[in-house]
Amino acid sequence: MPRSLCQITDLKAAEIQEIFDLCKKMKQKKIAPRPLEGKAVACIFTKPSLRTRVSFEVGIFELGGHALYITDNEIKLGQRESIADAARVLSRYVGMIMIRTFAHSDVEQLAQHASVPVVNGLTDLVHPCQILGDYFTVLEHQPPKDRYKIAYLGDGNNITNSWLNLASLIPLDLRIGTAEDTLPNEAILHKARRNPDSKILLTADPKEAVTAADVIYTDVWASMGQKHLAEEKEKKLSKYQVNSSLLAWADPEVIVMHCLPAERGREITDEVIDGPHSVVFDEAENRLHIQKAIMTFLLK
Ligand code: CP
Ligand code: NVA
């Protein structure tokens, strides 16, 4: 069976390090592998995207391959035919499949039946490429440390779940500030808590979450597919807004991260996202480098 990346826990800690080493060398242009030479990659999107689509398409091109952008209008995944059959057919044409969709189980089914690697470009449950790129960004911007203090503020969503997945493999002091009914996935939280080298704090107090933090991270309060809940979420989460007064509680060298797209004025203020602590555009750039490294690793 080929290696796929449905979520971060499909990897071992040493493999994450291998991906980071590849990523660094590619970013510094010390190596330029072309594992996709002569191959096409199916990029399936049933949700909108700027960063994931463009960074994958450019990355695939730079690895020697050709990206096919496929929306649900064409394939109607799981409706025109079973996901298993779609996986078997696509595997006869392409060297890899990348997919962004709603149900995480659809990605798992695709990976189970494909004979080529499948990469998750975001589901309702997780966003593995994002958080691998984000941790790489932390390593670039912060001095080496055994366990970074990472404060995540806002909705307990696919981004939060992915940080927790990383914490189950790599030592992290993850401090999640969120409301009682916007918590992350329970099973993923439980798994992260089983890593004795990580510390996981869940708190309703945003100040407690960010105290002495090396990283403050936020994301939209209503994710794709949940925009109808935006008003309700805003009521619950407005006290978790990342603004200058909250930043004052963090380490003076704190970096501020956001996976983007941001809803400026809601989960983060202009002053902070455009301010000196923000690394959001380096973070966005690293999506390209990390995905090239992930694809190269999976095609090994
Ligand atoms: N961060 C991210 O995945 O952005 P897009 O939704 O634009 O792909
Ligand atoms: N939680 C957000 C992340 C976007 C990159 C969403 O799923 O819409």
Mean pLDDT of the chain: 98
What is the number of structural domains in the chain? 2
Band the pLDDT of 1: cuts 50, 70, 90.
confident
92 CA distance to ligand 2 centroid (A)? 31
Domain that holds residue 135: 130-283
Backbone angles phi, psi at 43, to 5 degrees: -110, 105
Query: Annotated active-site positions, please?
Result: 100, 127, 130, 219, 259, 287
Contact between 292 and 62 under an 8 Å Cβ cutoff? The reply is: yes
On whether residue 238 sits in a domain, the answer given is yes
Whether residue 266 sits in one domain with residue 157: yes
Substitution site in 69, 217, 287, 290 for ligand 1 pocket (most atoms within 8 Å of beta carbon):
287
Ligand closest to CA 49: 1
The token duo for 2 is: 């080929």
Whether residue 138 sits in one domain with residue 116: no
On whether residue 3 sits in a domain, the answer given is no
On whether residue 123 sits in a domain, the answer given is yes
Whether residue 224 sits in one domain with residue 211: yes
Whether residue 278 sits in one domain with residue 134: yes
> Averaged over 256-271, what is the pLDDT?
98
Whether residue 116 sits in one domain with residue 180: no
Whether residue 183 sits in one domain with residue 77: no
> Averaged over 185-193, what is the pLDDT?
98
**Listed residue (158, 101, 157, 162) closest to 133, CA to CA:** 162
Ligand closest to CA 51: 1
Whether residue 60 sits in one domain with residue 184: no
On whether residue 34 sits in a domain, the answer given is yes
Whether residue 256 sits in one domain with residue 219: yes
Whether residue 119 sits in one domain with residue 137: no
37 CA distance to ligand 2 centroid (A)? 31
Q: Which atom of ligand 2 is nearest to the CA of 47?
A: 8
Whether residue 166 sits in one domain with residue 123: no
Q: Which atom of ligand 1 is nearest to the CA of 259?
A: 1
Q: What pLDDT does 255 receive?
A: 99
Q: Which atom of ligand 1 is nearest to the CA of 55?
A: 8
Ligand 1 pocket (Cβ < 6 Å) reads 49-52, 122, 130, 259-261
Ligand 2 pocket (Cβ < 6 Å) reads 122, 127, 157-159, 219-220, 223-224, 259
Whether residue 199 sits in one domain with residue 171: yes
On whether residue 2 sits in a domain, the answer given is no
- pLDDT, tens digit (0-9, with 9 covering 90-100), for 235-251: 999 999 999 999 999 99
129 CA distance to ligand 2 centroid (A)? 12
197 CA distance to ligand 1 centroid (A)? 30
Whether residue 89 sits in one domain with residue 63: yes
- pLDDT, tens digit (0-9, with 9 covering 90-100), for 18-44: 999 999 999 999 999 999 999 999 999
Q: Whose CA is nearest to atom 3 of ligand 2?
A: 223
Torsion of CA 16, 21, 24, 25, to 10 degrees: -140
* Total residue length of the chain: 300
On whether residue 1 sits in a domain, the answer given is no
On whether residue 19 sits in a domain, the answer given is yes
Ranges of H-type helices in the chain: 13-27, 51-62, 72-75, 83-93, 104-113, 128-141, 158-167, 186-193, 206-210, 230-237, 244-247, 270-273, 280-298
Domain holding 171: CATH number? 3.40.50.1370
Q: What pLDDT does 296 receive?
A: 98
> Averaged over 62-72, what is the pLDDT?
97
Sign of torsion over alpha carbons 231, 235, 236, 237 = positive
Q: Is the pLDDT of residue 262 over 90?
A: yes
Band the pLDDT of 160: cuts 50, 70, 90.
very high
Q: Is the pLDDT of residue 272 over 90?
A: yes
245 CA distance to ligand 2 centroid (A)? 25
Band the pLDDT of 17: cuts 50, 70, 90.
very high
On whether residue 151 sits in a domain, the answer given is yes
- pLDDT, tens digit (0-9, with 9 covering 90-100), for 75-133: 999 999 999 999 999 999 999 999 999 999 999 999 999 999 999 999 999 999 999 99
Q: What pLDDT does 88 receive?
A: 98
